[in-house]
Amino acid sequence: MSLDPATVRRIARLARIRVEDAAVPRLQGELNNILGWIEQLSEVDVEGVAPLTGGAQIALRMRGDAVTDGGYPERILANAPDRAGEFFAVPKVVE
């Protein structure tokens, strides 16, 4: 599988990373190089193998339903690059 320039742009778009047109060929080369290398996994026989999804081999723990967090809007908003009073602010989104 080899990435074409359109795919590189599509991936960058999905990842929300701006890529200048001039940078596409370089990125395409780098990504194809890595993808070509990881291609080696196709030689492993994985027939009937159950995928290992996580690092921990335990079942999920649950917590009780109690309000134990929140209630500190100033600490939530303190690092915001742009805020309007009690809200975060972003350029207007048109739906």
Instruction: Please tell me the distance from the alpha carbon of residue 54 to that of residue 62, in angstroms, as a whole number.
Output: 17
Asked if residue 2 binds another protein (CB under 8 A), the reply is no
The Cα-based distances of 58 to 21, 49, 54 in angstroms read 46, 19, 9
Contacts of another protein in 62-81 (CB under 8 A): 62-73, 75-81
Asked if residue 30 binds another protein (CB under 8 A), the reply is yes
Asked if residue 15 binds another protein (CB under 8 A), the reply is yes
| ∠ CA 11-18-21, rounded to 5° | 85
Minimum distance from residue 72 beta carbon to another protein (Å): 8
Handedness of CA 25, 26, 27, 32 (dihedral sign): positive
Kindly tell me which residue out of 6, 21, 22, 57 binds another protein, with binding defined by CB under 8 A: 57
Asked if residue 10 binds another protein (CB under 8 A), the reply is yes
Asked if residue 4 binds another protein (CB under 8 A), the reply is no
Asked if 88 contacts 77 with a C-beta cutoff of 8 angstroms, the reply is: yes
Kindly tell me which residue out of 6, 21, 22, 60 binds another protein, with binding defined by CB under 8 A: 60
